[in-house]
Amino acid sequence: MTLIFAHRGSAGTHPENTMEAFLAAEKSGSDGIELDVHLSKDGEIVVIHDETVDRTTNGKGFVNQLLLKEIKELNASYKFKTFQSFIRVPRIPVLKEIFDWMRGNDLLCNIELKNGKIEYPFLEEKVIQLIRDYQYEERIIISSFNHYSLIHCYQLAPEIETAALYSDSLYMPWVYARAIRAKGIHPNIKSASDMIINGAIENGIAIRPYTVNKDNEIERLIRVKCSAIITDYPEKAIKIRRKISKM
């Protein structure tokens, strides 16, 4: 069965990478969530996509130049005008908050290390320590566009699955995945033809394309038995999967 991972939570309908988006993903029946991490100035693992808080909040500045206390004051739904929460203001979570919440469910979690542009000191060590503290080794996939970082993760924790993110087409990506000790590949959807999906699976490499939002693409990947898809619309993807399974 093709697993459904909610990209940055249910980012199509909720402010990305917030608890609200992750709760919506759980409610939709997703099998997993995908999220992005950076380090704050005081070294906390912060769940946010960009290097700065500018695009998604009412604040300004680089995540690694703000203290967690300052980050926590920001409204993480400020730019997501169609979302209204009357209970509380959505905030930028730290990874530990997500892990605490995961104690109450069975969701898988794909942590994307956002260390392509900025090198965060000991990001890999900190993330792995937290995974081990919570004993989530079987529930986590660490991915990154920075494949040196994935090798580093493998050296620190060979028991935790890593997956190589990439955008443009690779020739026999399963060969490359093995070379960097990754058990999975996360290609851009444009680089995920049926041939590549079949090749990866036949070679024992999990394949989870991103960001798969169009109905026809979701349907194609489910029909070809892709390992998983990463989508902003998990609720829609679950419905499509259900429809296909009944045929």
Q: Which residues are catalytic?
A: 7, 49
Using rule CB under 5 A, residue 36 touches Ca ion: yes
Q: What Rg do the C-alpha atoms of the chain give, in angstroms? A: 17
Using rule CB under 6 A, residue 7 touches ligand G3P: yes
What three-state secondary structure class fits 138?
coil
Using rule CB under 6 A, residue 34 touches ligand G3P: yes
Question: Given the complex with ligand G3P, which of 112 and 235 has the nearer CB atom?
Answer: 112
Using rule CB under 6 A, residue 232 touches ligand G3P: no
CB contact set of 224 (below 8 Å; sequence gap of 6+): 194, 197, 198
Among 20, 112, 124, 232, binds ligand G3P (CB under 6 A): 112
Residue 190 beta carbon to ligand G3P: minimum distance, rounded to whole angstroms: 12
d(CA 14, CA 17): 9
Residue nearest to ligand G3P (CB): 210
Among 98, 210, 228, 236, binds ligand G3P (CB under 6 A): 210
Among 20, 26, 31, 36, binds ligand G3P (CB under 6 A): 36
210 contact choice in ligand G3P, Ca ion, none (CB below 5 to 8 Å, kind-dependent): ligand G3P
Residue type, 230: I
Stretch that binds Ca ion, among 55-63, 112-120, 130-138, 233-241 (CB under 5 A): 112-120
Residues in a beta bridge with 33: 6, 109
143 contact choice in Ca ion, ligand G3P, none (CB below 5 to 8 Å, kind-dependent): ligand G3P
Alpha-carbon separation of residue 138 from 32, 57, 107, 146, 159 (angstroms): 12, 33, 11, 22, 8
Both tokens assigned to 109: 């979690």
Contact 237, 218 (CB under 8 A): yes
Stretch that binds Ca ion, among 111-119, 171-179, 215-223, 233-241 (CB under 5 A): 111-119
Residue 208 beta carbon to ligand G3P: minimum distance, rounded to whole angstroms: 8
Residue 193 beta carbon to ligand G3P: minimum distance, rounded to whole angstroms: 18
Evaluate the CA torsion angle 170, 49, 6, 180 in order and state its sign: positive
Report the candidate in 238, 214, 236, 232 with the shortest Cα–Cα distance to residue 9: 232
Percent of the chain as helix, strand, coil, to the nearest 5: 35, 20, 45
Question: Given the complex with Ca ion, which of 198 and 211 has the nearer CB atom?
Answer: 211
Using rule CB under 5 A, residue 16 touches Ca ion: no
Contact 28, 10 (CB under 8 A): yes
Instruction: Tell me which residues touch ligand G3P (CB under 6 A).
Output: 7, 34, 36, 49, 112, 143, 165, 186, 210-211, 230
